[in-house]
Each structure stands twice: as structure tokens, then as C-alpha cells.
Structure 1
Amino acid sequence: MTDIQLSDSATHSNSELIESFLDALFLEQGLSDNTLAAYRADLDKFVRYVVAHLDDKPLLAINSADVEAYLAYRVDQGLKPRSTARAMSALKRFYAYWVSKQVLPASPLTHIAQPKLSQSLPKTLSEQEVEALLSAPDVADPMGLRDKAMLELLYATGLRVTELVGLRMEQVNLRQAVLLVRGKGGKERLVPMGEEALHWVEQFLKIGRAQMVKHANDFVFVSKRGIGMTRQTFWHRIKHYAMLADVKSPLSPHTLRHAFATHLLNHGADLRVVQMMLGHSDLSTTQIYTHVASERLKSLHQQHHPRS
């Protein structure tokens, strides 16, 4: 990692400053590749703006007026507030890093407020839609058996898709029916699998996986080439099964994670237990699911109560 000091900071290009910052996030905080890629994308967009509108000004010379102009530019371009909020978060973290290293005396974003966002509720599926989706794979086929195990496990545990496809054999304890999940920032948590998911994971490991693995590796779920799967591959599989099951609700890679949380709360689970299983560091992140659950209860009340 490049160690940049105040005295020689002017000799480093904007791209070198970004690389040094990202290296630090990886080495010191253990952020995932996906998180680092998101930071890189947002910082690269800012650099392109600086090149086009600020005469390629050094990032360490940026002031608050420059940042406010960038915010106005994004509004003019019709970019979504959530996208701008994420971009501002990346810039705040970038400049906070250089302040912490005493390369900058203060951040140009110190007095700039984060864009206000309306709280959007996560999209989820009904229990009937989940049942249809989970019943779609052909378990007589090794790949279908894999997909059945993955879908059951995703719904039973609320894992992030990156956590699911990255599962290693050492993280699975079949005897105790628990997973040791390594989440964001390298944080570990124990998550119970449940009987149904455990059954299908065992079936895949006994029957399907041996037919798919071509080279020795310790990934639990492998691709048709016998190697680790990508998020994109699994997302395509989810969409395929949603079409087979005639699921009309909007889908995202985290749809089953949202369903896991919402359905647990609908059935009376404690919010803090759900927080632990989801791997949320802040309870407020989990609380949004209580709004989904309450909206569902209101809908059921309106449909079935005689005075609604």
C-alpha cells in the first residue's frame, strides 16, 4: 500500500490516491470486493467530473464549493437521490481517511448535508410465492438439486447472496444444523439452518455435488463447471425459477432474504433475533422489516375483517 504524506501528496495522481484509500479499506477494515468495487465506481465518477469540469484538479485540493457544484451537477443530470447519497458517502469516507492520515487538515464535506431519502420498503414475496419458487427446481438433476438446496438455505437463513455463493465446507456444521457465516467487514455469526434446508443441503452434498465437482475445491455450491459460483449466476437461476413458478412479484437477488425477515416477524419473531441472523450491526436497519410486516397485517385486516 502506498504511504502518502502531506509533504509529497502533490506528486501523487488522483488514481493513486484512490488506490491507496481502497488498499487501506481492504487491509485495515476487511471490506468485501463488492463494497470496494462500489467505492471505486463512485470515486471514479467524481474524478471524471473533476476532469471535465474542474480542469483535472487534484482531489486533495477539492473544496466544499467544488463538492456542492458536483451535487448540483448530479441533480441536473437527473440522477436518483439514493445514488447521490451513496456517492457522497464514498467521498466522505475518502476524505475522512486522508484527514485521519494528517494529509488533509479537514474534509471538504464537513458541512455538506447528506441528501435526504424517503424510506423505501424492501420488496418481498408472500409465503405462497416462496413455496412455489422453492418447489420449481428439478431435484432429479444435480444442478436442480443444488438450486433447491440453495433456495431453501437462502429462505431459511436470510443469507446475503454473496454469503451463500461463498460458503465453504468448513462453515457448514451438519450435525448441529448451523452455518458459520462471514458477513460484511469480516464479521462472523452463527445461523441455524432449519430441518427443511438441512435436508436438502445434505441431499446435495451426498448426491449432487460429487457429480458436479471436477477439481478439488471447498465451495459448498459449485457451478456446472465444478468451480465456485458467482452472484450473477445464482441471480439468473432465481429469475429462471420465478418464471417457471409464475411468480409475478418484483424480484431482486435479496428477495428471499427480505422474505426471510418479513415472514419471521409476521410469525412473532423478536426483532433483535432477526437482526442477529441477518448480520445487521444496527437495529434500525432491521426495523424497516417491521414496516413491511405491519403493512401486510393492515392488508389482511382490510381484506378479511367485516368492518374494514
Structure 2
Amino acid sequence: MMINKAYEIYLTLEKHLQKRSVEEYIRDVNEYVTFLNENNLVISDFNITDLELYISRCKSRGLSSYALARKISSLRSFCRFLQLKEYRNDNPSTFLEQPKKGTIYPTVFSEEEVDSILELIDLSKPIGIRDRALFELIYSCGLRISEVASLTMESLFLNEGIIKIRGKGDKDRYVPIGDAAIYWLDVYLKDSRPKLMKSSCLSTFCFLNNRGQVLSRKGIWKNFKALLQKANLEGKVHTLRHSFATHLLKGGADLRSVQELLGHADISTTQVYTHYNTNELEDQYRKYHPYEN
């Protein structure tokens, strides 16, 4: 078995990484293997100097510290794999320095912008009702695009006002649904979804395309991009998730609760959203404090 394929199996079955993460790791490692081949090096012989030379070349291409940090993480993972599976006896990445990643604050929509996006959806067709329910749900529950795409009918508990989400690492969490999302989901499930269903393709997934098959991540992204163009706004589907977290914290929710709702393993990932509240507090201070006027 080729090493790259063995590494892919290792990431998927032993490390339980999501498909997208596996693809990123494999892409980084393939790029490094190409570098080795160009320099007449093999997997069993490269050393820390070779790793540092490769990273130096990546830096010369103008990669951000975030991109460099990801490549180094990929190389470290690959080297651990090589040692673990006895392709080599040592781990040359042990002393590879990790660059500090600058804090990247996510883009968010204002509450008014979220409303304007949702109001632009054409409700005259079943796919319009579907999209209204879909994007209402993403914003109401702070879902990742992969989570909403894989949502099944058996994961909906509308009478109880909750849904079960299968998140990263195949971890389940239960998330409450807002009234608006419940309303549009009910309309979609009773009226529009039956019209999208095909007798030859009885899907258990909640959101379907016009062929009766599961609505793909690409399809969700494409439909949302069209809405953003109409609204003259910049962002992604994931921006609705960022907005969900930011608006909750702005409204007074505690950080730990937002962490649980988002399915973050580490609260430091959630803390990035407090940046907006800090900025708002500063604006309010400068606006109303008597010594600032």
C-alpha cells in the first residue's frame, strides 16, 4: 500500500478526522512529497533541515502565518505517522517551530442584515420554502454547513423545540430551535418537502434538492451566495454561524453556554466572539462617559 493512502486511512479511521480536514492534510503532505522528489530525497531520509528548507520556501511564497501553521501541523502529523507505522525510526519534526498565528476575527452579519437576507428568498416555489427553513435553521442553531447538509428527519424534534446534531468527531449535541426556524421548518416539511420527494429516491435527509436527493454543501453554498449578491453583502454560509454566536453573547448569553451550542471542544475557540462585545463596550464608554465628551 502506498504511504499516502496508508496515511489517509490513518487520519480517517484512527484519528477520526472529518473528510475536509483529511483532504487538507493530504494536500499539504503531497506538496511536501513533491518537494522531496525534486530534491532527490526519500521518506526514510529527510531531516529537520529539509523540513525547515521547505517551510522557508513556503514563507517566500508569501503564505500567512495561519497557512504556515497549518502546513507545519500537517507535517508533524505525517512524521508521527511515519514513526508510528515504522516507516522510519525517528520523528524529524520534533524541533520544528510552530509560528504564532495572529487572531483572526470572523465576519458577522448584523441582525438587520440577517433579516434582509432571509426576506430576499423567493417563497413562490418549494425550493424557496426549503431555503428559508434551511437558513433560518442555520442562524437559529449556529450550525456548520456540513451539519445541516447531513441532518436527517429522525434528528428533528420540533414538538420539543430541539434538534440532534452530529458534529465534528461524530459527537452529538442537542440544540434548541428558535420559533421562526420551527415555523419555517414546519411549512417546509408539510408542504414543500413532499413536492421535492421522488418515489424512486426516498431520502431520509431533511433538506432535498429538486431531484429528491440530499441537498449538497455545494448547493447550499451556491444558493446562499446568490442571496448575498442580491443583498449586496459579503460573507459565507458560515457567517450565519458566526452571527449566531456573536448575537447570543451580545444579548447576554454566557460563554460556556455558547460553547456548548456551537459544539466547540475548546472554549478558546468560542472566545474569539467576545471581541465584538469588547469593541461595543468601548464605543459605549467613549460615547457616554462624561470625561470623553
The TM-score range, normalised by the shorter chain, is over 0.9
> Aligned partners of 2:121, 2:186: CA distance in 1, in Å?
16
> Aligned partners of 2:160, 2:43: CA distance in 1, in Å?
52
Change (3 A) 1:232 1:297: farther
Change (3 A) 1:155 1:216: same
Aligned residues: 290
Among candidates 223, 231, 238, match of residue 224 of structure 2: 238
Identify the residue that residue 193 of structure 2 maps to in structure 1: 209
Report the alpha carbon displacement of residue 219 of structure 1 after superposing the two structures with TM.
1.0
Q: Answer whether contact 1:264 1:274 (CA < 8 A) is retained.
A: yes
Percent of paired sites with the same residue: 35
Q: Deviations over 1:209-257 (max 9, x none)?
A: 111122211110111222112222211211211222333xx30231000
Report 1:262-277 matches (<5 A).
262-277=246-261
> Aligned partners of 1:279, 1:67: CA distance in 2, in Å?
34
Identify the residue that residue 225 of structure 1 maps to in structure 2: 211
> Aligned partners of 2:115, 2:97: CA distance in 1, in Å?
44
CA RMSD of aligned residues (A): 1.8
Report the alpha carbon displacement of residue 277 of structure 1 after superposing the two structures with TM.
0.8
Among candidates 176, 197, 202, match of residue 192 of structure 1: 176
What stretches of structure 2 of length at least 5 have no aligned partner? Answer: none
Report the alpha carbon displacement of residue 60 of structure 1 after superposing the two structures with TM.
3.2
Report the alpha carbon displacement of residue 205 of structure 1 after superposing the two structures with TM.
0.8
Q: Answer whether contact 2:65 2:102 (CA < 8 A) is retained.
A: no
Whether 2:176 is the aligned partner of 1:170: answer: no
The residue type equivalent to 1:37 in the other structure is: E
The residue type equivalent to 1:124 in the other structure is: V
Secondary structure of 1:78's match? Answer: coil
Identify the residue that residue 67 of structure 2 maps to in structure 1: 83
Q: Answer whether contact 1:219 1:228 (CA < 8 A) is retained.
A: yes
Q: Answer whether contact 2:28 2:74 (CA < 8 A) is retained.
A: yes
Q: Deviations over 1:143-190 (max 9, x none)?
A: 111110111101011111111111111211122121111111111111
Among candidates 252, 270, 273, match of residue 286 of structure 1: 270
Change (3 A) 1:300 1:200: farther
Whether 2:6 is the aligned partner of 1:20: answer: yes
Q: Deviations over 1:189-210 (max 9, x none)?
A: 1111121111111111111111
> Aligned partners of 1:179, 1:259: CA distance in 2, in Å?
19
Q: Bigger CA drift: 206-215 or 276-285?
A: 206-215
Change (3 A) 1:225 1:256: same
- TM-score in terms of structure 1 length: 0.89
> Aligned partners of 1:153, 1:237: CA distance in 2, in Å?
15
What stretches of structure 1 of length at least 5 have no aligned partner? Answer: 3-15
Identify the residue that residue 79 of structure 2 maps to in structure 1: 95
Identify the residue that residue 245 of structure 2 maps to in structure 1: 261
The residue type equivalent to 1:33 in the other structure is: K
